[in-house]
Amino acid sequence: MVSPGVMKTYVVVMILLVVAGTLYDIWHKKSARYFFDNWQKSKDKGTKDVEIAGLALQTAASEVLTSSEFCNPKRRIAHLLTMYGFIAYAFATFVMVFWYSAAPGTPTPFIWPLLWFLGALAVCVGGYWFWFVIRADVSAEGQSPFRLMRADLFILSLLASVTLGLIWALSQSTFFLVLYLFATTVLFASVPWSKFSHMFFKPAAALQKRVANANGSRNNLPPPADKPDVFGSARRQPSHY
Q: Domains of the chain by range and CATH?
A: 4-44+72-138+148-214 (1.20.950)
More confident residue, 162 or 230: 162
Which residue, 69, 67, 62, 96, is CA-closest to 83? 67
More confident residue, 47 or 67: 67
pLDDT bin (cut points 50, 70, 90) of residue 81 is: very high
pLDDT bin (cut points 50, 70, 90) of residue 227 is: very low
pLDDT bin (cut points 50, 70, 90) of residue 49 is: low
pLDDT tens profile 100-135: 876 666 788 999 999 999 999 999 999 999 888 877
Mean pLDDT of 9-19: 93
Distance, in Å, from the CA atom of 136 to the CA atom of 147, rounded to the nearest integer, reads 12
* Mean pLDDT, the chain, integer: 78
